[in-house]
Structure 1
Amino acid sequence: MSSIRWPLLVRKTHKWLALFVGIQVVLWTVTGFYMVAVHIDYIHGDHLVHAKAPGSFEPGTLLPVERALAAAPGATEITLVAPLGRPAWKARTPEGDVLLDGRTGARLPAFTEGEIRQIAAGIYTGNPTVTSIKLLTDAPQEMASRKPPFWQVEYEGWAKPTLYISPTTGELISRRHALWRVFDFAWMLHIMDYDERSNVNNPLLRIATWSAFAMAISGAWLLFWAFPRKKKKKAK
């Protein structure tokens, strides 16, 4: 039985591993560079909206919290908000968030398209030209983690800036733009989750990671083997 030729075996293993995971290693490098080169606050779209200013109302004109809670059975949380500058109680209920008139406690209807335009205009910092506004009942890929319905307000600009606003509370749910979409695509390639783009422990990623580790180890072994080694002098 012939002895194993380790250099040849390791070299072949290294070559096939490099062919198998080489492209993914390049993708890890490129996508990782993009994700650290562009500031995360910019990716999040913080530059697209104004900082939220707290509302100021006379306490005596507001419905007491106890009565607001009574008007929203099952509410676990209640917050004073001010969509369009009017006081309202936002109650978190098992059926979802509801909005109550801040002075009477009456349940407020969903916001109209015109009101959503006003809300969006009050928080958006860029070119005010709206190119599209629609109420979505099916979430697009960029909002897959959010539960519809929500209003989608798109603005003019190369980055296609987009605001997503709740139809029941008028609150900003999220914002999206071109660099965020590139980041999302890069993240998908980086974690190798081509479906939901959120599972960082999927089988494909684990296989590629361990294969890349084995490639690095075999390459290091070959590098060590390539260095000339001094032969021991024979004893006289």
Structure 2
Amino acid sequence: MAIRWPLLVRRTHKWLGLVLGVQVLMWTVSGMYMVAIHIDYIHGDHLVRSQAAPPRDLAGLVDPSVIAASEPTAREVKMQTFLDQPVWRVDTKDGPRLYDGVTGAPVPALTRDQAERVAKRIYTGEPTIVSTQLLTTAPIEMQTRKPPYWRVEFEGWNQPTLYISPVTGELISRRHNLWRIFDFAWMLHIMDYSERTDVNNPLLRVATWSAVFMALAGAWLLYWSFPRRKKAKKLV
């Protein structure tokens, strides 16, 4: 039985269009959203103010070699400020640790009140806090960051939220509703519905190549739909 190519291609094009139509629409809508809003705004740069490190006099402080000797896995020791006080930060294989610059004693983790003080200091908006939580399990919007961290949410339609390290008192990340919509749009765009990071996952590859085949089938049908002139027979 001869294959009726126009009918086969037409049906293939139709079913691919029905299956992929929703995904193509999501690619279009999510792509439009991601290019409509400036990426710096999505990153939340407008939510925090940069703070320059004040100059410090090392006189009267514990020698950094003493601090390094207390940490067998110390990789780097440097001076920084923790709640307006000089501290030594030691980067180890298990993460950073802070030591009091004057006494050399380990600095305890941030309390709730201290985390709120840090967040209010760097937040650029009205510093009215809605909630403060110490998270030990990463929420969806912080899957790439290992807890624990303080989550400080401020009042506002955009639900601005700052994540503060309880160990170093540093800003880990900032989130807001437009970022959360962007993250959801990114998930739809790359079709990674779990981690939202894999831009080369099997589902996306299948959908992409299916869309290519649908386009090729449509182009073939377009070519087939044009009538072809028959060559006139030569008279003898």
Please report the TM-score for the alignment, with normalisation by the length of structure 1.
Answer: 0.94
For each residue in 1:124-172, what CA deviation from the matched residue of structure 2 results, as whole angstroms up to 9, or x when unmatched? 0011100001111111111111111110100000010000001111011
Between 1:3-12 and 1:30-39, the stretch displaced more is: 3-12
For each residue in 1:173-201, what CA deviation from the matched residue of structure 2 results, as whole angstroms up to 9, or x when unmatched? 11000001001111111111111111222
Corresponding residue SS for 1:60: coil
Percent identity between matched residues is: 60
For each residue in 1:7-29, what CA deviation from the matched residue of structure 2 results, as whole angstroms up to 9, or x when unmatched? 11111110000011110011011
Question: Does residue 74 of the first structure (1) align with residue 73 of the second (2)?
Answer: yes
Report the residue type matching 2:6 in the other structure: P
- Work out the CA distance in 2 between the residues paired with 1:77 and 1:16: 60
Aligned residues between the structures: 235
**Which residue in 2 is equivalent to 1:182?**
181
**Which residue in 2 is equivalent to 1:7?**
6
* Residue correspondence of structure 1 range 80-99 to structure 2 within 5 A: 80-99=79-98
Contact kept in structure 2, 1:83 and 1:119, CA below 8 Å? no
Report the residue type matching 2:58 in the other structure: P
- Work out the CA distance in 1 between the residues paired with 2:64 and 2:229: 85
Compute the RMSD of aligned alpha carbons.
1.4
- Work out the CA distance in 2 between the residues paired with 1:170 and 1:156: 21
- Work out the CA distance in 2 between the residues paired with 1:31 and 1:79: 43
**Which residue in 1 is equivalent to 2:19?**
20
Structure 2 gap segments, 5+ residues each: none
Q: 1:55, CA displacement in angstroms?
A: 2.4
**Which residue in 2 is equivalent to 1:108?**
107
**Which residue in 2 is equivalent to 1:43?**
42
Report the residue type matching 2:11 in the other structure: K
Q: Which runs of 4+ in 1 moved over 6 A?
A: none
Between 1:91-100 and 1:6-15, the stretch displaced more is: 91-100
For each residue in 1:13-70, what CA deviation from the matched residue of structure 2 results, as whole angstroms up to 9, or x when unmatched? 1000001111001101110111111111111111100013122111334433323322
* Residue correspondence of structure 1 range 125-144 to structure 2 within 5 A: 125-144=124-143
**Which residue in 2 is equivalent to 1:191?**
190
Corresponding residue SS for 2:21: helix
- Work out the CA distance in 2 between the residues paired with 1:121 and 1:78: 28
Contact kept in structure 2, 1:71 and 1:105, CA below 8 Å? no
- Work out the CA distance in 1 between the residues paired with 2:71 and 2:45: 33
- Work out the CA distance in 1 between the residues paired with 2:79 and 2:177: 33
Report the residue type matching 2:206 in the other structure: I
